[in-house]
Structure 1
Amino acid sequence: MQNMDRGAGIIIHDWMRIKPWDKLLVVTNREHLPESRALRAQAFRTARSVNTLVVENQGRDVGIFFDANEDIFDPYTAVIAATEYSLVTTKAAKRAIEKGKKFLSLPLSTNDGRSMLEYDFLLMDTKKSRLMANVIMKYIRYSEELHVTTPAGTDLKMGKKGRKPGFFNGVVKDGKGYSSASIEVYVPIEETKTEGVMVLDGSLGYIGKAEEPTRILFRDGRITEIEKTPTGLRLKEYMEGYKDSRIYIAGEFGIGLNSYSDCVGNCYIEDESAYGTFHIGLGRNLALGGVQNAKGHFDLVCLNPDIYADNRQIMQYGKIILPEPNVY
C-alpha cells in the first residue's frame, strides 16, 4: 500500500499538479477501486472537489461508452482515466482536451498481480524525458517517412505526411493539457501508408510478453498476415475479439523513453514506454492527431530498433543518436 501511495502522489502532485480550485474526476472500475482511493486521498490534500466515476468493466470495449457520451467530462477541470484500458483515444477524451481540461490516461492493466501505482517506472525524471523527446521530435517533425529495422528482422516504412509528432511523460502541462503514463514520443502515422514486416519480440500490449519472435506483415496500412506461432495465435484470437476490421490498421508509431521501464510483459504501459523499444499502435488514433476510429487501441512492442526519419538515423539499436547533417 505504501508504494501505491507513492505512485498516487507522483500522479496527483507531479503529473497532474492539482490545484485547490480544480474539479477532479477519477474514472475507474471496481477492479481498481484501491487505486482510485489512493488517488482521491492524495488529491484531497490540495483540491476541494474530487469525484469518482465507476464504470462497468467492459474490458477492451470500455471506450465505446466514452464515445457515446462525449460530453461526460464537461463539468470537470481535470480528469484521470484510471481504468483497465486506455481512454485517451476516445471522443470524450478528445472533447475534454479541446476544451483545455487536464486529462491523464492511466490504464492500470497489469499481468503480475501488482498495482501499476507500485511500479518503479513512475519514478522516471520527467524533465529528462522531455529533453529526450525534443531531440527526437526535432528530426521527425519535418520528415515525410519513417523507417524502422531491428536485429530480429523488422523492416517497416510508415508515412507521416502532414502529421505532427507529440510526446507523453505523464506531466499534463508538458502535453499542453493532456498526457499518458506511457513516457514516449508518438506519431499519428498515415493510416494507409505502413508497409513491410514487423518481427514482434517485445510484448503484445495488454496480453503480455511475446514468447517467441513472430512475423507480422503490413500492406496498405493494415495487418494482412500474422505468423502462426503460439504468440501469433494468441494475438490473432485477441484481435478477432474486437469484431472490428479497423483494429488491424496501424495508426501510431511510438518510441519508448522511460529508462526505468523494462519490456517484460508485466504491464502494458511499462512495456510500451521502455527505452530501447518502439511500438505500433493499432486501431483508434483520433486523440493523437489521426483520423482513424475503431473500437479500441493497443500496441505491439519491439526491441532494439534502428529508426530513420527520411534519410536521417535518429536511433541505433534502441539508443538515441544525433543525426549527421545532410550534405548537398
Structure 2
Amino acid sequence: MADLLEVAKSILKSNLNIQESEQVLIVADPESREAATIFYEAGVALGNETMLMEMMTRTKSGEEPPKPVAEAMKAADVILCITYHSLTHTKARKDASAAGARVATMPGITMDMLQEGAITADYSEVEQLTNEYCGLLEDGETVTISKSGSQLSFSIKGRKAIPSTGVFRNKGESGNLPSGESYIAPIENSANGTIFVDGSIAGIGVVSEPVLLTVEDGRLADATGKQGRRLLELLGDGNGRIIAEFGIGTNKNARLTGNVLEDEKVYGTVHIAFGSNKPFGGTNEAGVHIDCVIIEPTVEIDGKGLDLK
C-alpha cells in the first residue's frame, strides 16, 4: 500500500501538476473505491484540500453523473474520475474543464494498472507521438481503416484532433490516465463500410472472436456474434449507434487487457467509438460512448499510409 501511495502522489505531482493551494476532487463509485481511496490519501499526504465523492455506479460509459457531483466538479481545481464506467465524454466533464479544472478520467483502473503497463510509460515520448499523430489528423480529410478484407472510410474534414497525453499542466486540460492517444470526431454521417474489431470492446472486454461491424451513413447497422449483439444492446437503438470517434494509440507500454482505459492506448492499435462526441468537437449527444479496439490495421489518411509501428 505504501508503494501505491507513492505512485499516486507521483501522478498528482507529475501528471496533474498539482499546486499547494489547489483543491482536489475524487469522483468514485463502489467498484473503484479501493483505488480512489489511495488517491484520496495521496492528496491528503501532499497537504491539499482533498474530497472524495462516491456515487452509484453508472450503467454505461458516457452516462452523466448525478447533479451534486457535476456541480462539485465545476468548483474543483484538480479532478480524478476513478469510476467503473467512463465519465470522459460527459457534459459534466466538459463543464468542469470549461470552468478551468484539470481532469484525469481513470475508468476501470485496477490495482495492477497502478503498477504495470501504460502508467509506467515515458510520458515525454507519449506526448511527442500523440502530438505527431494529431498533426496528421488535423491536416487530413478522409480516413480509411482496413483489416482482414474489411474496410471503413469516413471524413474528418474540419474537425479538431485531441491529444490525450496523460499530462495536464494547464487550466481546462483533460483526458484519460494512464493515457496515450490521438483522437478526433468523424463527420457523423460520413462513415461507410465494414471493419473487424479484433482487440476489445469497452464494457465487454477482449473479444473472443473478431466482431464485424457494418456502418452505413455513419450509423452502426450490424455487429456479428454474441459480443456484437451485446455491443448493439449497450448502444441502444437511438443516437448511441452513430460513429463518434477515431483514435490512435500512442503508449508503447500499454497492454491489451480487456480494460479499454489501457487497451485503446496500445501503440499499433486504433479504435472507433459510437455514441456521444459533442464534448470533443462532434455534434452527437447519446448518453453512451463505447470504444472498439482494432489491432494493427492498415490506416490511410487522404490515401497516404499511416505508420503505426
Report if TM-score (shorter chain) is over 0.5: yes
- What is the match of residue 255 of structure 1? 248
1:143 pairs, out of 140, 143, 146, with 140
User: Could you give the per-residue CA deviations for residues 171-229 of structure 1, whole angstroms, max 9, x where no partner exists?
Assistant: 112796112123100011111111111111111122111111221111111111112xx
- What is the match of residue 31 of structure 1? 31
- What is the match of residue 169 of structure 1? 165
The 3-state SS of whatever aligns with 1:215 is strand
More moved, 293-302 vs 206-215? 206-215
**Structure 1 125/87 Cα, relative in aligned 2: closer, same or farther at 3 Å?**
same
User: Could you give the per-residue CA deviations for residues 121-148 of structure 1, whole angstroms, max 9, x where no partner exists?
Assistant: 2011111011112222222212111112
Is contact 1:109–1:268 with CA below 8 Å preserved after alignment? no
The alignment yields a C-alpha RMSD, in angstroms, of: 2.2
Is contact 2:64–2:91 with CA below 8 Å preserved after alignment? no
Is contact 1:4–1:35 with CA below 8 Å preserved after alignment? no
Q: 5+ residue gaps in structure 1?
A: 320-328
Is contact 2:62–2:89 with CA below 8 Å preserved after alignment? no
- What is the match of residue 79 of structure 2? 79
The 3-state SS of whatever aligns with 1:35 is helix
**Structure 1 175/188 Cα, relative in aligned 2: closer, same or farther at 3 Å?**
farther
User: Could you give the per-residue CA deviations for residues 212-254 of structure 1, whole angstroms, max 9, x where no partner exists?
Assistant: 1221111111111112xxxx32232243145452221111000
**Structure 1 160/174 Cα, relative in aligned 2: closer, same or farther at 3 Å?**
farther
**Structure 1 156/138 Cα, relative in aligned 2: closer, same or farther at 3 Å?**
same
TM-score, normalization by structure 1: 0.87
1:301 pairs, out of 274, 293, 300, with 293
Provide the C-alpha distance between the structure 2 equivalents of 1:173 and 1:189, rounded to a whole number of angstroms.
27
- What is the match of residue 120 of structure 2? 123
1:264 Cα deviation from its structure 2 partner:
3.9
1:304 Cα deviation from its structure 2 partner:
0.7
1:89 Cα deviation from its structure 2 partner:
0.9
2:189 pairs, out of 179, 187, 192, with 192
- What is the match of residue 221 of structure 1? 218
1:109 Cα deviation from its structure 2 partner:
5.2
Question: Aligned letter for 2:301?
Answer: A
1:312 Cα deviation from its structure 2 partner:
2.3
Is contact 1:281–1:299 with CA below 8 Å preserved after alignment? yes
Provide the C-alpha distance between the structure 2 equivalents of 1:4 and 1:254, rounded to a whole number of angstroms.
30
Is contact 2:32–2:109 with CA below 8 Å preserved after alignment? no
- What is the match of residue 154 of structure 1? 150
Is contact 2:35–2:109 with CA below 8 Å preserved after alignment? no
Provide the C-alpha distance between the structure 1 equivalents of 2:61 and 2:249, rounded to a whole number of angstroms.
25
The 3-state SS of whatever aligns with 2:271 is strand
TM-score, normalization by structure 2: 0.92
1:283 Cα deviation from its structure 2 partner:
0.7
1:311 pairs, out of 286, 303, 306, with 303
Provide the C-alpha distance between the structure 1 equivalents of 2:216 and 2:226, rounded to a whole number of angstroms.
20
Is contact 1:94–1:286 with CA below 8 Å preserved after alignment? no
Residue 291, structure 1, aligned to residue 291, structure 2: no
Find runs of 4+ consecutive structure 1 residues off by over 6 angstroms.
none
1:68 Cα deviation from its structure 2 partner:
9.0
Is contact 2:155–2:191 with CA below 8 Å preserved after alignment? yes
Question: Aligned letter for 1:142?
Answer: D
- What is the match of residue 322 of structure 1? none
Q: 5+ residue gaps in structure 2?
A: none
Name the % identity. 25
Provide the C-alpha distance between the structure 2 equivalents of 1:209 and 1:300, rounded to a whole number of angstroms.
10
- What is the match of residue 183 of structure 1? 180
**Structure 1 66/283 Cα, relative in aligned 2: closer, same or farther at 3 Å?**
farther
